[in-house]
Structure 1
Amino acid sequence: MNRFFLLAIVFGGFLVFGFSENVKGPAIPRIQGDFFLGDTQLGLLLALNSLGYLVACSFTGALSRRIGIKLTGILAFVLMAASGVLMYLAANYQFLSASYFLMYIGNGMLEIGLAIMAARIFTKNTGFMMNLAHFFYGLSSTVAPIIGASMMGWHFSGGGEWGWRGMYLFMLSLSLLPVIPSLLASFPRGEEEGGQEGVPFRLLMRDKVAWLIVAVLSFGVISELAVGGWLVNFLEKAYGWTTERASGMLSLFFLCFMLARLVLGPVTDRIGYTLSVMIFAGFSGLCSLAAILLGEPAAWLFAVAGAGIAPVYPTVMALLAKRYPQGTETAITFTVTAMGVACVIGNALIGWIIDGVAALAGGGDAQLLGLQAGYGFIAAMALLCAVTCLYMYRVMKRQGNLL
């Protein structure tokens, strides 16, 4: 029964995580309109969110060792629910930014917490089980844009629309559901929590492969997360699509994303984690690049790109669990914290690229060129992930510890 509770927390946590991350696709254009935000301001808002995520990643590992992974997870769920209330009450851009920041504090705590839980629970067939757990993130991410777009059109009994405020309030309230099995479960203890010596940060700082893992994960996650924030915006502004149609394409992206995590998990165990990430990230980047170059008729390739980028994060988590079995928590905290720095920069860059290229281009096609350049950066991140992984593959092979 305890294992059932643990699986409910991990799988349910990833479901909630997917909803909180990816309902923003259809909400962002409405938020931008309500607060009269430019693309640079929008990029800074998303960058601030990543900063909240980064702050959470920097302390969650230590917090879990101090108060336990159980209380850490419960606190993350409660913070996410509280941020939904604050978003509903947000009256200006600053209040909204603070509310988003709090949500990403909760998201960061949850991601580190779930990664630690999964590393302790999934000791066999790690690649498959990590991808299966993240499949639930893909599942909720698939339906989140459609549900979010639909929910914003719902009406209160008094006649007013829910809008993005009511939608966020409801969706983030779902974060309280995994608290129930969290209260009932008994969590396995890790080496560091049990007082044994793990991998010191100073050793990770001197480990070339550790930094290559950070680079691979950073490029991959920037590409993955940027789609949720920018694809709907791109399709609406570049091609004049409706919110519902653009949200449907984002859902199709996450459908491919979800199925890839379900189907490709065993492949990563069979052919190796490093080679898997290199192949899948390269495929994703090429699909996104082709979609931009070929124009609206090839927009479906944006969705297919989700199948390539999906296995990157869970496969890297499996690689960390296998490479650092006596210090997984420290390795995860080090890697995800460093990745968070890159995500802050990446989100800000996309907004600046869109506005900067549009300003330089001028003329009637300026906005389209800006949007294409911004999304081209997302494709470039996936390709950089693949290239960096190729170099890491060679380094690990020379060291004789290829995974």
Structure 2
Amino acid sequence: MPEDIIQQDKARTPPIRLGRLHYAWIVAATGSIAMFCGLGLGRFAFGMLLPSMSASLGLNYTQSGILGFTNLIGYLVAVLLSPLILPRFGTRITGTASLLLIAVSMLAMAFTTSFPLLCALYVLTGIGSGGVVLPMMSVMSHWFFPSHRGLALGLVMAGPGFGIILSGFVVPKLLPISGLLSWQTGWLIFALINIVVAWITFTLIRNHPDDIRLTPFGRVPTLPVKNKKKLERSNVKLLVHLGVIFAIYGATYMVYVTFIVTSMVGSYQLSEATAGGIWAWIGLLSVFSGMLFGWISDHIGRRLGLALAFFFLAIAYLLVGLTDWTLGLYLSIILFGLVVWSVPVIMAACAGDYFGPAAAASALAALTFAFSGGQALGSVAAGYLAEITGDFSISYMVSGIAAFIAIGLALLLRSQQSA
């Protein structure tokens, strides 16, 4: 019997309902815990550790920037390799191995003060982060039908928010232990957490509902289930369209998260302690942003969900770009925190909806590459404009305009085909 027909027959099998917890939710919760380590600790905690690292190692701004950039290099390497590795090893093995790679690199960073070696090790951390993010996001296309896929991806993206909150509370309280500096102690603690989470991931994650004789969770789609294992040429235009939207998000998001604290201290004359406290709210609000907009996109569609997300992002950017009103800053922080993970969640859902579960990982890898390119462009352009103008107001205004352009591009998308 042809494989497509087999998949359609499976789709007609009623999934287990919420009255009895479907294992898909266990997979989603485990993915969230893995993302807590892969992004929350592997990537976002770096900003909290950087001041003490720079002080003890005597790093200048250029070296600090290089160290952060090495993580992005590693992440992009993982993005490029994922379409080759995932089909062979699956999410369970790939995610577990990536978490262990992060743990090993962090352990090594905890016992070195050599800048070149730190850079090399942080490349490995970046590879591990990418090796967690793409598998955990793409596997949701196997475990959930489109009716609940956005909500599930939102749950997965709650993990990094908890990582931001944990690092915000733990890092400032770190003390030197047994000759290790405070930032070295931080890497050691994060490494041990990654080892525990790697064990949890290997124990609970399953690559596909078929592995335990289940069907995906959610309402069975009325259209036939796509099962193409590779991206079709006819979908390249659509992939580029989505990639441009994701690149705009990457550029504007990077401007905001990189420079908003600097703006609070410089333009709004807030103390560093106050600015740090306000920034912590983004981590707290971000825990809910993915689930909120994932649920919204499940109900009104990915196209309108993206447009709504970019509308709120545009307002958040313009509130700090057009005025130095303190209340406007607070409103901007709240809006950004509530929307920050919306676009990645909806994009991951689009990868499954438009291209099918089997090709979701390849599509998401291409989209993530565009997103990363936008991140690099955004931070460089904002820094250049700040050198010319003396602050980041122009960068925020340009980000707001770009977000409105993204709204138009999102509305031009065709309605997704359920997969």
- Do these two structures clear the TM 0.5 threshold for a shared fold by scoring above it? yes
Query: 1:391 pairs with 376, 393, 409, which one?
Result: 409
Given residue 144 of structure 1, which amino acid in structure 2 is its aligned partner? S
Equivalent residues of 1:44, 1:348 under 8 A apart: no
- Out of 278, 302, 312, the residue aligned to residue 283 of structure 1 is 312
Deviation (angstroms), 1:33: 4.0
Partner deviation per Cα, 1:186-230 (whole Å, 9 max, x = no partner): 623499xxxx742336444xx322112112122223443555544
- Residue 175 (1) aligns with residue 194 (2): yes
Count of matched residue positions in the alignment of Structure 1 and Structure 2: 377
| 1:307 matched to 2:338 | yes
Per-residue CA deviation, residues 215-256 of structure 1 (Å, 9 max, x unaligned), is: 212222344355554444444455565544332222111222
Give the partner amino acid of 1:76.
Answer: S
Whether 2:290 is the aligned partner of 1:261: answer: yes
Measured in 2, the distance between the counterparts of 1:65 and 1:331 equals: 13
Residue 110 in structure 1 maps to residue 128 in structure 2? no
Q: Distance in 2 between matches of 1:379 and 1:42?
A: 27
Structure 2 contact 321–395 (Cα < 8 Å) conserved:
no
Q: Which amino acid aligns with 2:309?
A: F
Distance 1:351 1:93, change over 3 A: farther
Match of 2:36 in 1: 15
In the alignment, which residue of structure 1 is the partner of 2:241?
212
CA distance in structure 2 between the aligned counterparts of 1:334 and 1:84, rounded to whole angstroms = 28
What corresponds to 1:340 in structure 2?
Answer: 372
- Aligned pair partner of 2:97 in 51, 75, 79: 75
Which residue of the partner structure matches residue 351 of structure 2?
320
What CA distance in whole angstroms lies between the structure 2 residues aligned with 1:253 and 1:213? 26
- Separation in 2, partners of 1:302, 1:46: 26
Contact 1:50–1:104 (CA<8 Å) still a contact in 2? yes
The answer to whether the 8 Å contact 1:39/1:351 transfers is no
1:364 corresponds to which residue? Answer: none
- Aligned-residue offset at 1:18: 1.9
Percent identity between the two aligned chains: 16
Q: Which amino acid aligns with 1:303?
A: I
Letter in 1 for 2:331: L
Following superposition of structure 1 onto structure 2, how do residues 40-119 of structure 1 map, counting pairs within 5 Å? 40-119=62-141
Return closer, same or farther for 1:164/1:313 CA change in 2, 3 Å cut-off. same
Picking from 377, 384, 394, the partner of 2:395 is 377
Measured against aligned partners, the alpha-carbon deviations of 1:40-88 in whole angstroms (never above 9, x if no partner) come to 5544443332222111100012111122322211111011112212332
Residues 378 and 44 of structure 1: CA distance in aligned 2, closer, same or farther (over 3 Å): farther
Query: Any stretches of 5+ residues in structure 1 without a counterpart?
Result: 362-368
Partner amino acid, structure 2, of 1:328? A
Match of residue 365 from structure 1:
none
C-alpha distance in structure 1 between counterparts of 2:171 and 2:33, whole Å: 19
Q: TM-score, normalised by structure 1?
A: 0.81
Consecutive unaligned residues of structure 2, counting only runs of 5 or more, are 1-21, 211-226
Residue identity opposite 1:255 in structure 2:
L
Distance change >3 Å, CA 45–CA 226, structure 1 → 2: farther
Q: Give the TM-score normalised by structure 2.
A: 0.78
Deviation at 1:25, TM superposition (A): 3.1
> How many angstroms apart in 1 are the aligned matches of 2:46 and 2:308?
29
Root mean square deviation of aligned Cα: 3.2
